[in-house]
Structure 1
Amino acid sequence: MESLIDKDRIQVKFSAENQFAAIEMAAKPLWEQGYVDEGFLAAVMERERNFPTGLPTRVGVALPHTEAKYVIKEGISILTLDKPVLFAGMGNPKEKVLVEILFLLAIKNPAKQLGVLQTIITIIQNEMVLKKIKGAKDPKTIYNLINQFI
């Protein structure tokens, strides 16, 4: 997973009006750095409408993603928000989750996606690490925190 994470794809303390603005911000470095094609953002947003990814952890997290066909090369974009935005809950779309951290996944290999998700779940189950990610003032801090789990 280490090569999937890069400081250039970690953005901290952004403001977003809603979940879709947050997803768009998280997608920007993946698009600009050639990781995804032009259909990626629309596909992620459509998938989020149908299969929401908000997780009601102590610090709300969302894991938006879409099909591999929109991925040119694999990567993860991480976005922290200065104020939480509402996402529908994963597994319970009626549940509203205040999300402060997004992990936007661009994964080609479905088998690899499972391993990446397991690593992210390990990270987000650690409340102390989540609080440190949320409070980080720069991408390097988040990068270093996540690399402890890789």
Structure 2
Amino acid sequence: MNIEEFLSEDFIWLNEPVKSQLDVFEKVFTKCQDKGFVSGEFLEKIKEREKVFPTGLQLDGYGVAIPHTDPECVNKQFVAVFTPEEEVMFKRMDDSNAEVNVKIIFVLGLNQPHSQLAMLQELMVLLQDKEAVENLRNTTDKKQMIQYLSDLSKQKQR
């Protein structure tokens, strides 16, 4: 699976001024719903799922999050990439009582169960590379973000 097939400049936010994960979810939902990619219940479902199954990950010196929700809320598959201007707090996947400040967020809008698992696995491989994550975090151009993620994905698949 190559992440590139799920990426679009429409669903990439770089250095975006937001205060919370709710701000992130609302921005992604609004754009995705306007484009017909998600149903009206996507926002509530992703918020509910994040409360029950947090998606924040504390990796080597940085935090990331990979929120996702039920496949029935997704009309067309996508991966949104969000780099907030200031870090955003998420609860940790491995300890829901702990928090992690997140620098990069991948919102998965996938409606095939195997796609969701495969994409999570691919992202976990990519996110182990601290230098790659820092490069993603500092990218200021949407086309460059797509190219960089695509190149990383192809390198890691070798």
Q: Distance in 1 between matches of 2:147 and 2:86?
A: 23
Shift of 1:30: 1.9
42-51 vs 17-26, greater mean Cα deviation: 17-26
Stretches of 4+ moved more than 3 A in 1?
A: none
Counterpart selection for 1:140 from 133, 138, 143 = 143
What percent of counterpart residues are identical? Answer: 28
Question: How high is the TM-score relative to the length of structure 2?
Answer: 0.90
Paired position in structure 1 for 2:134: 131
The reply on whether 1:122 has 2:125 as its aligned counterpart is yes
8 Å CA contact 2:4–2:146 kept in 1: the answer is: no
The reply on whether 1:17 has 2:42 as its aligned counterpart is no
Q: Which has the higher strand share?
A: 1
Q: For residues 45-104 of structure 1, give each alpha carbon's deviation from its aligned partner in whole angstroms, at most 9, with x where no partner exists.
A: 111111110011233111111101101011111110110011100021111100111100
Paired position in structure 2 for 1:5: 7
Paired position in structure 1 for 2:81: 78
User: What do you get for the CA RMSD once the two structures are aligned?
Assistant: 1.2
Shift of 1:105: 0.6
Q: Distance in 2 between matches of 1:32 and 1:126?
A: 34
Q: For residues 112-150 of structure 1, give each alpha carbon's deviation from its aligned partner in whole angstroms, at most 9, with x where no partner exists.
A: 111111111111111111001111112122111100114
Question: How high is the TM-score relative to the length of structure 1?
Answer: 0.94
Paired position in structure 2 for 1:54: 56
Paired position in structure 1 for 2:41: 39
Shift of 1:8: 2.0
8 Å CA contact 1:34–1:73 kept in 2: the answer is: yes
Q: Which runs of 5+ in 1 are unaligned?
A: none
Specify the code of the residue in structure 2 equivalent to 1:112.
Answer: S
